[in-house]
């Protein structure tokens, strides 16, 4: 694993948040397992209305829509390999994997444009006619609602480092974690913290994972799950703050309500 200082363009990136405060755990209150009818489901994505989940099958193959409240599962295409998502009005649509300029747009407004170079993993901020690299060799970037911060990962998944930066380059967080998902308030995010599996002393794959929540107001990291037999991965937050995640060991899908201190989601 390379040091953060070699990953980021910011000189103080490494040291500022080498350790963060850890608050009291707020373990999820009995997540509901959705009967997947034997399917191995991954990559949950909430519909804009928060009432449906789009998922893929094992290996990213297949496409399914689950209604968590009713347990209904629609198999859209068991052989799909095309990247898909929801459009603004709740239709399942193919996502462009490649972009004309090689960049994926993460966020834009009248003043600023944040884009992502998937090849080199560069986060690029365009502002007032100029562009600058925010970080490189990143993956899994997620803009906060409101576009003030970006969360992203570096390294291999099993040992990934999670970083949160302000668009001005200010370091909000750096620590072990992956697959960040913002809560609607734009101040908190849920992420998974994988535990690396070891094969002959070399980290190789994932042995387990639990979910955590980072509060950027207090810089506290709160544990959401403590289940050594479930590998909680790919958290997804609905617009109303509902949490979905999958167990990468069994392909089971779970949904939970986030009962958060400080008022809702």
Partner 1 sequence: MIRAARLCVAMSALMWFMPGRILAVPECGGEQDSCSCGRANYCLCDGTCGNCVWHAWHMACCSWGRALEWCTDAGTWDEYATSNGYPTGDDPHDACVFVCNPSSTCSDYGHVGWVVSAYPDGSFDSTEQYWGGPCGTWEKHRAAGFATGGFIYDPDNPDVDGATFVSETIPDGTHFAPGATFTKRWTMRNSGTSSWTRDGNYLWTWDAEEQFGAAEQTLLPDGVSVAPGETHDWDVPMTAPSASGTYRGYFRMDNFGVGRFGDRVWVEIVVDEQQPDAGVDAGADEGVDAGTDSQTDAGADAEVDAGPTDSAPDASDNAPADENGEETGCRCSTQRSTPAGLLLILLLGILGVGNTRRRKRPESRRVNQTVVE
- In the list 3, 71, 93, 99, the residue contacting partner 1 (rule: CB under 8 A) is 99
Rounded distance between C-alpha atoms, residue 104 and residue 119, angstroms: 11
- What distance in Å separates the CA atoms of residue 120 and residue 149, rounded to the nearest whole number? 20
Q: Which of 19, 30, 129, 200 binds partner 1 (CB under 8 A)?
A: 200
For every residue of 232-257, DSSP letters joined together read EEEEEE-TT-EEEEEETTTTEEEEEE
CB under 8 A: which stretch of 18-26, 66-74, 124-132, 204-212 binds partner 1? 204-212
CA distance 120 to 101: 14
- Extended strands (E) in 23-111: 32-34, 41-46, 53-57, 63-67, 72-77, 84-86, 92-94, 103-108
Number of residues near partner 1 (by CB under 8 A): 52
Q: Please, what is the end-to-end C-alpha distance for the chain in angstroms?
A: 34
Task: At 24, list the tokens.
Answer: 């009291």
Nearer to partner 1 by C-beta: 167 or 178? 178
Per CB under 8 A, does 195 bind partner 1? no
User: What is the nearest approach in angstroms of partner 1 to the Cβ of residue 251?
Assistant: 5
Query: In angstroms, rounded to a whole number, what is the distance separating the alpha carbons of residues 158 and 151?
Result: 17
For residues 203 and 195, the answer to whether their CB atoms sit within 8 Å is no
Applying CB under 8 A, which part among 106-114, 162-170, 217-225, 242-250 lies near partner 1?
242-250
Among 16-24, 131-139, 141-149, 215-223, which window interacts with partner 1 (CB under 8 A)? Answer: 131-139
Q: Does 226 bind partner 1 (CB under 8 A)?
A: no
HSE of 94, CA atoms in CB hemisphere, 13 A: 7
Q: How near is the Cβ of 125 to partner 1 at its closest, in Å? A: 18
Binding mask 147-186 for partner 1 (x = CB under 8 A): ------x-xxxx-x-----------------x--------
199 binds partner 1 per the rule CB under 8 A:
yes
Smallest gap from Cβ 179 to partner 1, in A, equals: 10
Site for partner 1 in 23-62 (CB under 8 A): 37-38, 40, 42-43, 56-61
Closest CB to partner 1 among residues 36, 265: 36
Could you say which DSSP state residue 144 is in? Answer: P
- The nearer residue to partner 1, 14 or 260, going by C-beta atoms, is 14
Residue keyed to tokens 């949490």: 243
Element (H, E) at 152: strand 149-154
Within 8 A by CB and 6+ apart from 6, the residues are none
CB of 33 to partner 1, least distance (A): 11
Which residues of the shown chain bind partner 1 in the complex (CB under 8 A)?
A: 1-2, 6, 37-38, 40, 42-43, 56-61, 81-83, 97-102, 118-121, 136-137, 139-140, 153, 155-158, 160, 178, 199-200, 202, 204-206, 229, 233-234, 248-252
């Amino acid at each position: 694993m390379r040091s953060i200082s070699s990953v980021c363009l910011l000189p103080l990136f490494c040291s500022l948040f080498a350790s963060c405060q850890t608050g009291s755990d707020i373990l999820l209150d009995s997540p509901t397992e959705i009967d997947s009818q034997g399917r191995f489901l991954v990559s949950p994505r909430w519909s804009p209305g928060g009432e449906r989940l789009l998922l893929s099958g094992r290996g990213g193959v297949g496409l399914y829509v689950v209604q968590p409240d009713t347990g209904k599962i629609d198999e859209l295409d068991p052989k799909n390999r095309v990247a898909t998502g929801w459009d603004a009005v709740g239709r399942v649509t193919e996502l462009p994997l490649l972009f004309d300029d090689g960049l994926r747009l993460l966020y834009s407004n009248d003043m600023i444009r944040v884009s992502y170079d998937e090849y080199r993993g560069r986060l690029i901020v365009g502002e007032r006619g100029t562009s600058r690299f925010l970080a490189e060799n990143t993956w899994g970037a997620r803009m906060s609602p409101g576009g003030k911060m970006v969360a992203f990962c570096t390294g291999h998944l099993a040992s990934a480092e999670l970083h949160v930066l302000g668009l001005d380059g200010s370091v909000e967080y750096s620590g072990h974690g992956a697959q960040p998902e913002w809560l609607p308030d734009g101040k908190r995010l849920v992420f998974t913290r994988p535990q690396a599996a070891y094969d002959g002393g070399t980290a190789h794959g994932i042995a387990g994972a639990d979910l955590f929540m980072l509060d950027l107001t207090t810089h506290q990291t709160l544990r959401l799950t403590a289940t050594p037999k479930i590998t909680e991965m790919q958290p997804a937050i609905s617009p109303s703050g509902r949490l979905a995640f999958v167990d990468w060991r069994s392909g089971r899908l779970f949904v939970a309500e986030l009962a958060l201190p400080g008022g809702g989601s």
